Structure 1
Amino acid sequence: MTRLCICKMCSCGRHRCTHQPTALYKKATQTNVLSEYSEKYPAYKGHTRPKSIKPQLQYKAHQGTMDGTTTFRMDYIPYPVTRRPGRQQAEYKRRPGEIDLPTIPTYAEDFRPWEISRRELTKPDTTYQPPTAKFGNSTTFQDDFIHRGLVPPRESFKPSNKAKLSDAPFENMTSNKFTYVPHALEARYTKPPEEYKPSNGPFQDLTTHRQDFQGLPSQLTKSCKPVPLKVTSSKPFQSSTEFRENFQQWPVSFRQVQKSVEYTSPTTHMDLTTTSHTDYIKHQIQPFLSAKPFSLPIKSSKPFQGNTTMKDDFQPWVAQRQSVIRKPEEIQRASGKMEDMTTFRAHFVQHEAQPSLSFKPQNAPLRTDVPLQNETMYRTEFTPKRISVCPASFESPPGFVFDNCDDQGHRFFRKMSSTDRIETPKEMVLTA
């Protein structure tokens, strides 16, 4: 006897068993066959789902016998294992004598306090007396500073800055004087200037804007800005404000100015001499002589040429302002009174208007005397197939009897035997 589930009996792929949330809960007595999807989307009759060609991922068990040997069992070699020797604990031996229960710490037993007398304060015992004058307190610098007078000058141990003169003569010959060979300079090449050749054609000052632009008559743009209206009122102006009504004048006292202490000049004479004035010794030193040779001016007997490339190549040209080139007027201006005649009225020639021909094809129905061929590929090649109904779409599939449900919610049906009563569902009768 074979048992099938709704999931396995379905051939269209739209029917599934109602799965329970977990198998720990007990199975209810009545299972809800219909789901929210089946209520909103009823099954279509007479439609079969195409079968999937995708291979099913099924686990293929090994058909042969399993060998119980593993690589660990084959390669493992047992070694003799001995127990690690433990450390033997020493036996406790009681110390001879009696124990002094009221023990005294080593600090209290060994420490002996010294006889130390208290040091006397060296600070003079002076009482504070406030000054009688304002800001009359003296600073610590004024109290502790002792004027010692001028310091005597110190003896300088700096060595004397005397120049050491040499008796040997100076050699003023250098490698440049030995190896330098003067060369004669060649005449500079000057490029002759190109002559200016003016164009013979007249200059056209007309532009595309002057030639093609024609003004169009139009009206001036109107402003959308509203007219500013003066807001006036006949009521008198109230000069009283919230600041004048609520402001209270407070009495203000003048700031106290501190008087500066008058400067008193010292009575003793001040020595303005410095160590440089007292210790400086003037030495008689001969100034250094420059060993650089004097550059003697090279005089030439030839007369000086005042011509330069600037004077030769850039000569002043006679430049005159070019007059404006104007195109001669094609239309002669009238000298008399203006006539109400425009160029359009004067030169316009009226022509007879010819209607344009339309090349659009006429919308006439195409008719033919040949009879219509009503044979199509669908009529000639179509083969009617038998429409099969999914057995899982019925409440009780035909040919199966409900058996039981498992913990996951799958409904299992078994094939109907001869002892079971055959009941044909109404939907099968209608489809037949």
Structure 2
Amino acid sequence: MTKQCICQICTCGKHRCPHRPYGVVGKGDQACAVTEYRSEFVPREGAARESFKPDYTLQTNTAPLDDETTHKHDYIKHTMEKPRSFKPEEVYVPRGDFDALTSYNKEYTPKGGEPAKMIKHHAQKIVSAPFEGDPTYKADYRKWEAARTEPIRHDGGYVASADPFKGESTYTTDYLKHQAAMRQAIRPDHAVMQSQEPFDDRTGYRTDYIHHPQQERFQRAREEYMPNKASLDSLTTHKKDFTPKEALPARSMKPDNQGYASNARFEDSTTNKTDFKRWEVQPIQTHKPEEYRPKPGDMDMNTMYNSEFTPKPLAKVNAVKPVERRAIDAKFDGSTTYGGDFRKWPGGRPPAIRAQSGYAPPNMPFEGMSTYKGHYIPHPGGPQPSFKPTGAAYQSSAPFDDATMYRTEYTAKEIEPCPAALLETPRSNFTHHHTEPTGHKFYESQQQAAMAYYQQQQQQQQVTA
């Protein structure tokens, strides 16, 4: 059975395998074009990048260093005052003993209890009897004795040529060596171009720029401070409206340090004590499994497999060997069509065609009459008529006859679609067989798949019989 690719199944020439996009339709012996290098590394166009390395040129300046910075120019020094110390208020600590008794400590007292016991599962029972059985692999797949195939060798009937070897190839005879002078180098001269003329530093800036005197900057005159000659009136609105009043000092809101005492009996009845009553709790009853009681009588160990599938006598399968070729005693007839029709003819080098040496003039005198003048007879003729068609359109009153040979003799035929376009569809006659690790898919016809399945079923029936 042959497995075909999409290139071999296609009949229209428009379907190509993605692994062989440039292959010829119908030829599947070409190498796979899909590689990791072609799928991952995509070629891109680009030239060599220029170097970003800066030139090692030192910029020097003869001007004096100006140490005037922005910090020195804008920063103003201010006087520093010592910060005032801040003392926090003293923490008040009440006197007396702290009562740490809470409802949690009073109600929830520690109880005694036994630790939980560990739950252990029963161990799996192991059958001590040996396993008896024959697996499907050993029953169906047996080792057969196979003989070594003989190599197929061809007869080495090589006949050497009788002509002597000249030792000259097409390259030596066609391509002759010509003497030519050595080409001059295109490399430019590395000599520095120097000039004896003085350097012309007259630029457009120096010739066109006119130096104008700079005007002085306008400065506004500062106003002098004129102090007030009148005396300062220190009486403010606060001093004038808010006069001191006589008042008693405010009493302290601090509570007394004496504890609150009461002779009444403490009522300890809470919602928990009144609503939630104490109920009697019984211990949890554990479930005990029933004890195993073996059934009376002996166990029947005979299963359906042992009763139905009994050993059968099987005959040894004959080995499928190729048919041996019988030797023929008749004499080999080596006459072929090529040897009978194409015979070797004696051939030599054709003689060179050389021109005749010397010119033999004719003995007859020259008449002075040429062939053109003797055979050509002039005839009277007028101007040639124009073959240009007239601009009038051709019209006919007869009905148009559209009965062509294509319409009368051609019969419409059903165009069958390409089998490659119907792959992996219900209408396709091919089924997927396997896929290679590289992604190359192979298909086989449904008849071949059905025949392989039928042969496999026949072999299984023979083995079970």
TM-score range, shorter chain: under 0.3
TM-score when scaled to structure 1?
0.18
In our comparison, the structure showing a higher alpha carbon Rg is 1
* Higher RCO structure (Cα 8 Å, ≥6 apart): 1
